[in-house]
Structure 1
Amino acid sequence: MKKFKDRVAVVTGAGSGIGQATAIALARKGCHLALADVSEAGMQQTAATVEGLGRTASQHIVDVADKKAMENFAGEVIDAHGRANIVVNNAGIGIAAPFEDHSLEDLERIININLWGVIYGCWFFIPHLKKEDEAQI
């Protein structure tokens, strides 16, 4: 992407770690942010930092593994910002344990977030990204 100023960046998992750092870095480059996370407290901290840099930040409590929630999230972003230019499908989890110590439910949750969360993020935002002169996932 050639320019970031006044672009709208969507970042999932924006409440901590890499997602939080990515959102702040994009704000420093001039982006407005649509933040998504399951942790309201972490996301509020990210939003405060983004806003302190003079950028806007909408906050969305979203489970990226929930198809309907992700569809609604895309609509909320367009309603709040009018567009999306960048999507960072960052949300992800892992469980630090040997494979055989995971329950099937744990493995399903990991796959739903780490795989389906990315697919939903692409699927529901691509129609909006295609309307822009420049867009990135």
Structure 2
Amino acid sequence: MADEIHSPELDRDEILTLESPQFSPDRVAIVTGAGSGIGRATALALAHNRLTVVATDVDEEGLEETERRKEELDLRGAIETVTGDLTYDGDVESIVTAASELGEITYLANIAGFQHVAPLEEFPMETYDAMQRVMVRAPTLLAKHCLPHMRGGEEPAGVVANMCSIHGHYVTRDKVAYNTAKFAIRGLTQSIAAEGDGDVRSFSVSTAYVKTPLVVNQIADTAQQRGISEREVVEKVMLEEARTTELMDPIEVANAFAFGLSDHARFLNGADLLFDGGYTLTY
């Protein structure tokens, strides 16, 4: 069906190419959630810009696909994969240790996350706890372990980038764990900026819905449940309140991360980049 929504395959010419002095093979960028979606696109975008990327995810097969795509696209930088579960502190520490052996840890992109939809009265607390560990505690712990490496370079240039959401600005019902985590990640972003002391800066990126495999599957399920087309799900269910009623591609989000990490964004510190098609701030 022409109406079906698909997760797009990334093309090399879609990746933002940045001339940034700090983007070099001896600089390491850790990217979480790199086994699919925005995390994979960000890992590929940073590798294209000559960085050494430590791509981490709990999904080992997804990481293998990220490596395969890097080779297919013939990207200039390296991608090294580290399988890890962000709900375990030991795995978090191991990710940073592995990254430190590859070069100077300069960038951290906290992108991993997941969703669960249920009313507050029915929300399973074990799921709530897991979501907070992956989307709040792990980014905090990763930053804690990375900051000493970032501060130790001859030319301080450490940057922590966090995946936020319109749900860090604007909540919707039945998503209490996700809403809470995304508001918290903005607090973490600003806390890192406050303590960066000119050595480390931070920023977050907020989007509405993105064509990740997770979202695309939700669209198909919703279309079937409601008896409407997938295009109608996007325009009338997901993005009814936005001015731009189309989904972002993962590479568009990845390019925002790449720009924010680069020297071109050196005054971006503690702020949130809101790419939501007018969803949040217009009515």
Structure 1 length as normaliser, TM-score? 0.89
1:3 equivalent in alignment to 2:22: yes
Q: Deviations over 1:72-95 (max 9, x none)?
A: 21111112x122111001111111
RMSD of Structure 2 on Structure 1 (CA): 1.6
Residues 50 and 57 in structure 1, CA contact (< 8 A), matched pair in contact too? yes
Letter in 2 for 1:124: H
What is the aligned partner in structure 2 of residue 63 from structure 1? Answer: 85
How far off its partner does 1:120 sit? Answer: 1.1
Letter in 2 for 1:5: S
Residues 64 and 121 in structure 1, CA contact (< 8 A), matched pair in contact too? no
> Structure 1 runs of 4+ off > 4 angstroms?
none
Residues 92 and 114 in structure 1, CA contact (< 8 A), matched pair in contact too? yes
How far off its partner does 1:96 sit? Answer: 2.8
- Tell me whether 104-113 or 50-59 shows the greater mean CA deviation: 50-59
Q: Which has the larger radius of gyration?
A: 2
SS, match of residue 158 in structure 2: coil
Q: What is the rounded CA distance, in whole Å, between the counterparts of 1:83 and 1:60 in structure 2?
A: 17
1:118 equivalent in alignment to 2:118: no
How far off its partner does 1:2 sit? Answer: 5.1
What is the aligned partner in structure 1 of residue 41 from structure 2? Answer: 21
Residues 91 and 117 in structure 1, CA contact (< 8 A), matched pair in contact too? no
Letter in 2 for 1:114: M
Q: Which of 93, 101, 108 does residue 114 from structure 2 map onto? A: 93
What is the aligned partner in structure 2 of residue 136 from structure 1? Answer: 159
Q: What is the rounded CA distance, in whole Å, between the counterparts of 1:13 and 1:103 in structure 2?
A: 23
Paired residues for 1:73-88 under 5 Å: 73-79=95-101, 81-88=102-109
Q: What is the rounded CA distance, in whole Å, between the counterparts of 2:67 and 2:146 in structure 1?
A: 21
Residues 56 and 83 in structure 2, CA contact (< 8 A), matched pair in contact too? yes
What is the aligned partner in structure 2 of residue 72 from structure 1? Answer: 94
Residues 28 and 99 in structure 2, CA contact (< 8 A), matched pair in contact too? no
Structure 2 length as normaliser, TM-score? 0.45
- Tell me whether 95-104 or 15-24 shows the greater mean CA deviation: 95-104
Unmatched runs of 5 consecutive residues or more in structure 1: none
Q: What is the rounded CA distance, in whole Å, between the counterparts of 1:5 and 1:111 in structure 2?
A: 33
Unmatched runs of 5 consecutive residues or more in structure 2: 1-19, 161-283
Q: What is the rounded CA distance, in whole Å, between the counterparts of 1:28 and 1:99 in structure 2?
A: 42
